[in-house]
């Protein structure tokens, strides 16, 4: 599995006793008590689009918190991610991007993994922040990120910061190629959400390929959410390309088998196989971010689709479909019926 496009800054530095992973490291020392966070930032930092417009830049932050030396168990730790962007960012105040409280720190010493909710920097800083408005031009937008952790009480708090740059390339009109982006910095044409709004699907129509970006980071239970069975975790995209009431193929990712493709057969779905030429799947099992690529030639002006994910056992599944709790399962059970698929009109989404 290739994670370069998702975690491309995961370098480790040691300086002044502070561990810096992916650019962020935090250490707090107050009396005999201490707290430390080693974190990574999964971020895209380069995007090409046909019109220079970037509609989404997703940042996912995670890592490990360690605490030691408390007289009593601290009970909780609160992590806060803040940011600011733009050429004059040093003159701007930080904006809170996301916050998470970890409960159950029941000992005076220990460690806990964490993943903060993914954040869309375009939502945080406004549309146009990362756009390149000149045909053929390139824009570099610097971003400062700051994370703080408070363990137990305000007496043990640490703050660390790092920066990144989002580079946007506005492809010249004469180039005639579709927009491309990595999994986290993207230009997309249309977005859909699961019924519980914890999974987002972004569709980007290029000239030669269509990319389905699935941001399941809020749903993804890795590593130890209650009921999460990691070896059974999977997400799948189903396509009814001619809207005839039946799915034509599945493309997805299963942790135990990685990328997989299923064609139809006479009784339903055929056996899983490697994706054919032109189809691809990129996945990050730590953050729950996926990119499914389908040749543009496989889709007409209109088609139907569904996205569904599960992890077996008691863990709740998700569906991006017309009806909650319905996806693959048409009236006859698990089959190829596309009754609950959503219909997508490319001419409308790209206008």
> DSSP readout, 274-303?
PPPTT-EEEEETTTTEEEEEEEGGG--SEE
Domain boundary among 174, 205, 230: 174
Tens digits of pLDDT across the chain (351 residues): 222 222 222 222 222 222 222 333 333 333 344 444 444 444 444 455 566 677 777 777 777 777 777 777 778 888 888 888 887 777 778 899 989 888 887 777 777 777 778 778 888 888 888 777 777 677 778 888 777 777 776 556 655 566 666 666 555 543 322 222 223 444 567 889 999 888 988 888 888 899 999 989 889 988 778 889 988 999 999 999 999 999 999 999 999 888 999 999 877 888 999 999 999 999 988 888 899 999 999 998 899 999 999 998 789 999 999 998 888 765 555 678 898 999 999 877 666
Distance CA 193, CA 20 (A): 34
Asked whether residue 318 is assigned to any structural domain, the reply reads: yes
Q: What is the dihedral of CA 330, 336, 340, 342, to 10 degrees?
A: 180
Same domain, yes or no: 29 and 159: yes
Domain boundary among 149, 174, 199: 174
For 18, how many CA atoms within 13 A lie in the half-sphere containing its CB?
A: 17
Asked whether residue 255 is assigned to any structural domain, the reply reads: yes
Number of domains in the chain: 2
Asked whether residue 110 is assigned to any structural domain, the reply reads: yes
Segments forming the whole domain that contains residue 294: 189-349
Q: Name the maximum alpha-carbon separation found in the chain.
A: 71
Q: Which has the closest alpha carbon to 204: 349, 59, 5?
A: 349
Taking the mean position of all CA atoms in its chain, how far away is CA 250? 21
What residues contact 85, with CB distance under 8 A and at least 6 apart? 121, 125, 129, 130, 141, 142, 143, 144
Same domain, yes or no: 247 and 210: yes
Q: Which pLDDT does position 53 carry in this prediction?
A: 73
Same domain, yes or no: 148 and 258: no
DSSP class of 116: P
Distance CA 215, CA 181 (A): 14
- Residue 101: which CATH number? 2.60.40.3880
- Residue 227: which CATH number? 2.60.40
Same domain, yes or no: 146 and 214: no
Here the tokens at position 296 are 């543009």
Q: Which pLDDT does position 307 carry in this prediction?
A: 96
Asked whether residue 235 is assigned to any structural domain, the reply reads: yes
Same domain, yes or no: 214 and 338: yes
Same domain, yes or no: 335 and 263: yes
Q: Are strands 180-181 and 110-115 parallel, antiparallel or unpaired?
A: unpaired
Same domain, yes or no: 226 and 336: yes
Same domain, yes or no: 169 and 21: yes
Same domain, yes or no: 162 and 214: no
Distance CA 140, CA 280 (A): 29
Q: Which pLDDT does position 67 carry in this prediction?
A: 73
Asked whether residue 327 is assigned to any structural domain, the reply reads: yes
Q: Which pLDDT does position 293 carry in this prediction?
A: 95
Q: Which pLDDT does position 11 carry in this prediction?
A: 23
Q: Which has the closest alpha carbon to 151: 114, 101, 113?
A: 101
Asked whether residue 1 is assigned to any structural domain, the reply reads: no
The predicted model scores a pTM of 0.56
Q: Which pLDDT does position 303 carry in this prediction?
A: 96
CB 193 within 8 A of CB 203: no
Q: Does 223 sit behind a cis peptide bond, omega within 30 degrees of 0 on the bond before it?
A: yes
Domain boundary among 124, 151, 174: 174
Give φ, ψ of 83 to 5 degrees.
-160, 165
Give φ, ψ of 251 to 5 degrees.
-135, 130
Asked whether residue 3 is assigned to any structural domain, the reply reads: no
CB 287 within 8 A of CB 253: no
Q: Which has the closest alpha carbon to 182: 197, 168, 172, 194?
A: 168
Same domain, yes or no: 284 and 342: yes
For 294, how many CA atoms within 13 A lie in the half-sphere containing its CB?
A: 26
Asked whether residue 259 is assigned to any structural domain, the reply reads: yes
Distance CA 317, CA 350 (A): 30
Same domain, yes or no: 216 and 275: yes
Same domain, yes or no: 170 and 197: no
């Amino acid at each position: 599995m290739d994670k370069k496009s998702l975690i491309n800054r995961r370098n480790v530095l040691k300086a002044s006793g502070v561990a810096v992973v992916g650019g962020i490291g935090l250490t707090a020392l107050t009396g005999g008590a201490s707290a430390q966070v080693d974190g990574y930032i999964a971020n895209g930092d380069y995007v090409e689009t046909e019109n220079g417009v970037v509609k989404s830049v997703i940042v996912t932050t995670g890592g490990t918190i360690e605490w030691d030396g408390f007289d009593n168990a601290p009970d909780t730790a609160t992590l806060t991610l803040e940011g600011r962007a733009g050429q004059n960012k040093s003159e701007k105040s930080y904006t809170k991007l996301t916050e998470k409280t970890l409960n159950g720190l029941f000992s005076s010493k220990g460690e806990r993994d964490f993943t903060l909710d993914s954040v869309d920097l375009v939502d945080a800083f406004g549309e146009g922040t990362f756009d390149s408005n000149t045909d053929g031009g390139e824009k570099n937008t610097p971003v400062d990120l700051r994370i703080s952790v408070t363990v137990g009480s305000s007496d043990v708090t640490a703050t660390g910061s790092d920066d990144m740059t989002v580079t946007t390339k506005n492809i010249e009109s004469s180039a005639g190629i579709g927009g491309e982006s990595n999994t986290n910095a993207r230009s997309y044409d249309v977005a859909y959400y699961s019924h519980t709004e914890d999974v987002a699907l972004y569709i980007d129509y290029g000239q030669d390929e269509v990319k389905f970006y699935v941001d399941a980071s809020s749903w993804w239970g890795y590593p130890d959410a209650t009921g999460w069975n990691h070896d059974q975790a999977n997400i799948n995209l189903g396509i009814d390309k001619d809207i005839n009431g039946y799915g034509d193929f599945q493309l997805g990712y299963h942790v135990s088998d990685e990328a997989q493709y299923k064609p139809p057969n006479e009784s339903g779905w055929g056996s899983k196989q490697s994706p054919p030429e032109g189809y691809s799947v990129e996945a990050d099992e730590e953050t729950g971010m996926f990119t499914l690529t389908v040749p543009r030639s496989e889709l007409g002006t209109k088609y139907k689709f569904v996205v569904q994910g599960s992890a077996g056992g008691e863990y709740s599944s998700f569906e991006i479909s017309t009806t909650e709790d319905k996806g693959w399962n048409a009236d006859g059970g698990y089959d190829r019926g596309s009754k609950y698929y959503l219909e997508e009109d490319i001419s409308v989404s790209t206008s």
